[in-house]
Structure 1
């Protein structure tokens, strides 16, 4: 049989490693949906909230009361706009890993709890308890990795206050890597874990409260225990697209307000350790912040509470902005992945979040 008219035989198709394979990319997105959502949301929300986080740390560490506006003016006059972003690279580069790990542990723990048959009823109590357990597991796990980065961030944000406590003058603050090297040189590797116990308490309790509240608010706003979003309730008929922002903002502000004193104590302990000042336990630090250093003449209780909650206004605005943006972008990226992967095997499954 003459095959000459058929032309040359077709060569098997090969895909160059430099060829953009849309199907492979979509499969990566689908298989790593939670990681992609958490990474994008974390990067954007971190950039939005970092200047306010920097002001919050400075307000907590200030030895005398100062208004946020005056502090911001002083920072801008002495350090410029870069002063508000001092130490941003550490959280910006690592927050995606920490947040992705947090969301992954949270989601996996919820799946395990449901698989074991616990808290599977479609009611608020089961939703809240599941979110609390998953949040505690997430917060207690990630703090081992996030504690060194948190310490370095505090060091960079409070560079001038720490130098003043040491009795030295700095013309130009060291960069992030130099700050890490100095901590390790003076304290050793475990010097990066100064203040870890309070960090552990803050992250475990705070993350448990945060996810419990977020899941509870989402349930009240129409999402069932399987993660399917329904219509919002008639008593708060906000657009469905804004539900993640609303729930994230409320959960972020309220949970942060509850654990704020623990964060103040943590920051103060870390500041003293970085300044080579004598160590004080968390209880002693808390008591001095609440009642003052003079045991014979303690400050009024309300004044002490004001000291413990110094910077809360800035922190509340930051939490509202960052956590609202985080969940808004998280859901938006999830819908974008759904549209890209529509029709693929495994697409359309609602994640346990």
Structure 2
């Protein structure tokens, strides 16, 4: 019996080592997604609401009208798709970096080369993953903005429809292609955002003590080594998100109008109306318009710090745990 258990444990350990990126990505993603989702829900509402409102007031309004479930509406969508998105994303990112290493491209021991390799891996990951993630994110946006969409249609909701009902409604209205509403904006956002994200993360990790093979070197004496993943993940998440935030706002607005059955407006027109207002003869001040574009960035920044900091912390923790599992004797 002991021999059977030993063989099973050895096979299990070997399985974890062979699939380290997938296992670490899944573990980290479930934890980080759960803690960051309420902030993501508030972000979507802030992007589309017409009347400026503070985050605490909006949170109180959501709680009063929808209860705690309002903050987690649509949560199961990212949780269900996390196995595909995170695992595939980290796998593509890792394989792209391995290709660069095998081909001896950008192999100087510098943060510039480390960042560029991460950028290439991130761009490839974001572009490919967007084809699978776009329908799920559209449904997530629909679930988060159910009441705003119903208001646009002049409908009063006593109870928000479920996720399956939302999918059926999208499919009934626009067919299968309806699930890819706003896909070009989604593709551009994910490709650009993911490339910036991994560029910044790998460059910062190199500066703070990780070489091209992934081995940890000495970190600065003032920074505990176990805080490095959280710091790099938080900073890369916040900064890359801030850069692509206007694109995400436009994407969400375009999708909201399409889901509400309103007349289509292109990305440029949508951006212009958001920044300068609806009256071309009396445009809003540019600063006021940009303030609206970046509405919700504060809560998004907190979400990014929480989500990406925890993501990389648990990703590194799980990876290190797997690396130190006992190996079977051959």
What is the TM-score normalised by the length of structure 2? 0.97
Instruction: Give the superposition deviation at 1:113.
Output: 1.5
SS class of match (1:21): helix
Match status 1:123 vs 2:110: yes
Separation in 1 of the partners of 2:263 and 2:228?
A: 47
Q: Deviations over 1:183-223 (max 9, x none)?
A: 10111011000010110110000000000000011011011
Change (3 A) 1:164 1:15: same
Of 248, 251, 258, 2:243 maps to 258
Q: How does 1:286-325 map to 2 (within 5 A)?
A: 286-325=271-310
Asked if the contact 1:121–1:225 (Cα under 8 Å) also holds between the matched residues in 2, the reply is: no
- 2-side partners of 1:121 and 1:226: how far apart? 12
The aligned runs of 1:71-82 (5 Å cut-off) are: 71-82=58-69
Instruction: Give the one of 320, 324, 330 matched to 1:339.
Output: 324
Kept after mapping to 2: 8 A contact 1:257/1:312:
yes
Select 1:284's aligned residue among 262, 265, 269: 269
Match among 67, 75, 82 for residue 54 of structure 2: 67
Q: Runs of 4+ in structure 1 displaced over 2 angstroms?
A: 13-16, 342-346
Q: Which residue does 1:230 correspond to in 2?
A: 217
Would you say the 8 A contact 2:100–2:106 is kept in 1?
yes
Tell me if structure 2 keeps the 8 A contact 1:43–1:95: yes
Question: Do the aligned residues in 1 keep the contact of 2:93 with 2:125 (CA within 8 Å)?
Answer: yes
Q: Following TM superposition, by how much is the alpha carbon of 1:344 offset from its aligned partner in structure 2, in angstroms?
A: 4.1
Q: Tell me what 1:9 maps to.
A: none
Change over 3 Å in CA distance of 1:14–1:331 after alignment to 2? closer
Residue 287 of structure 2 is aligned to residue 269 of structure 1: no
Paired residues of 1:139 and 1:203 also in contact (CA < 8 A): yes
Tell me the distance in 2 between the aligned counterparts of 1:20 and 1:298: 72
Q: 1:8 maps to which residue?
A: none
Give the aligned length: 330
Deviation at 1:15, TM superposition (A): 6.4
TM-score, L = length of structure 1: 0.91
RMSD: 1.8
Separation of aligned partners in 1, 2:213 and 2:14: 23
Conserved 8 A contact 2:111-2:204: no
SS class of match (1:38): helix
1-structure distance, mates of 2:172, 2:206? 50
- Choose between structure 1 and 2: higher helix proportion: 2
The alignment status of 1:93 with 2:80, answered yes or no, reads yes
Unaligned 5+ segments in structure 2 are: none
Q: Which residue of 1 aligns with 2:169?
A: 182
Q: What 5-or-longer segments of structure 1 have no aligned partner? A: 1-12, 347-353
